[in-house]
Amino acid sequence: MNNIESRTEDAKEYFDATGLIPEHVAIIMDGNGRWAKKRQLKRSAGHKAGMDQVKTIAKHASKRGVKVLTLYAFSTENWKRPLNEVNYLMQLPVDFFSSFMPEIMEADIKVMMIGHPSDLPKKTRKVMEKAIEETKDNNGMVLNFAVNYGGRKEILDAVKEIAIMVEKGALKADKINEKVFEEHLMTSSLSEQQNVDLMIRTSGEERLSNFLLWQNAYSEFHFSSLLWPDFGEVDFDEALRIYQKRNRRFGGL
Ligand code: FPP
């Protein structure tokens, strides 16, 4: 957890000095389709507005001192959507990085990704790889995109890797513990911040939808009724304030 010293001057105005900023915030950005429908727009217009809100919230979270912001951009289940919507969603990272990269660099944000890049269209994969490469030496907030990500698959893949090590005699079964297991998850490179502190879902839905199943084991949940394109800086701050009032016990007293 961060303490006040590691926060920006700006954050001090808004937060109780003894309060804590969650180090790892994860967001299920839900409600783009409904946002568009309310305005009699195409679903793609909702996703475009959702992408613009990613820029706002990424800059804001970085300013607030969040260390890792993981955003659920595309799940392994989202391939079931109509092809034109899938195609639009796959184009979004291309548009996002072509317009937002100067601000990412300015804010010293480091881009990372979890998910399965090999199944993505080449243009989407390339643009993600390029953003990761260009920002690899940045030292600020990690902006971690979950693209073609599924929590159960992540856990099964980790189990398989560990099983192979045991089969080969490289690891003894009784040496498998949480730390060893976490080394095989896609979030392992987040090291200290691998587990989520605050999980936000917008649009009034209150479920996890296969998102960071292991990493959310002890996170605080915040469900907002706002649709993702309407979820702004003040709403993010409100989620932080609510988080600061929670008493995290991790199973203790
Ligand atoms: C869920 O809302 C949203 C998604 C499946 C896509 C989320 C993607 C973004 C917000 C943009 C990501 C940006 C980058 C740079 C990758 P929904 O469409 O299911 O909404 P609905 O439930 O109202 O239909």
In ligand 1, which atom is closest to the CA atom of 46? 18
In ligand 1, which atom is closest to the CA atom of 53? 10
Q: pTM for this one?
A: 0.92
> From atom 13 of ligand 1, which residue's Cα is the shortest distance away?
51
> From atom 6 of ligand 1, which residue's Cα is the shortest distance away?
73
55, 41 Cβ separation under 8 angstroms: no
State the Cα–Cα distance between residues 11 and 188, nearest whole angstrom: 29
pLDDT along the chain (253 residues), means of 10: 45 58 97 98 98 98 97 97 97 97 98 97 98 98 98 98 98 97 98 96 97 97 98 96 84 76
- pLDDT at residue 32, as a whole number: 98
**Residues having CB within 6 Å of any atom of ligand 1:** 29-34, 47, 50-51, 54, 73, 78, 89, 92-93, 96, 145, 203, 228
Tokens of 251: 């199973």
State whether residue 153 is helix, strand or coil.
Answer: helix
Which residue out of 30, 32, 195, 197 is catalytically annotated? 30
Which residue out of 2, 78, 138, 210 is catalytically annotated? 78
50, 228 Cβ separation under 8 angstroms: yes
Residue 237 designated active-site:
no
- pLDDT at residue 16, as a whole number: 58
- pLDDT at residue 7, as a whole number: 42
Ligand 1 centroid, distance to 1 Cα (angstroms): 29
Residue 30 designated active-site:
yes
Query: Which of 27, 28, 29, 125 has most ligand 1 atoms within 8 Å of CB, for mutation?
Result: 29
State the Cα–Cα distance between residues 19 and 4, nearest whole angstrom: 8
- pLDDT at residue 249, as a whole number: 75
State the Cα–Cα distance between residues 179 and 175, nearest whole angstrom: 10
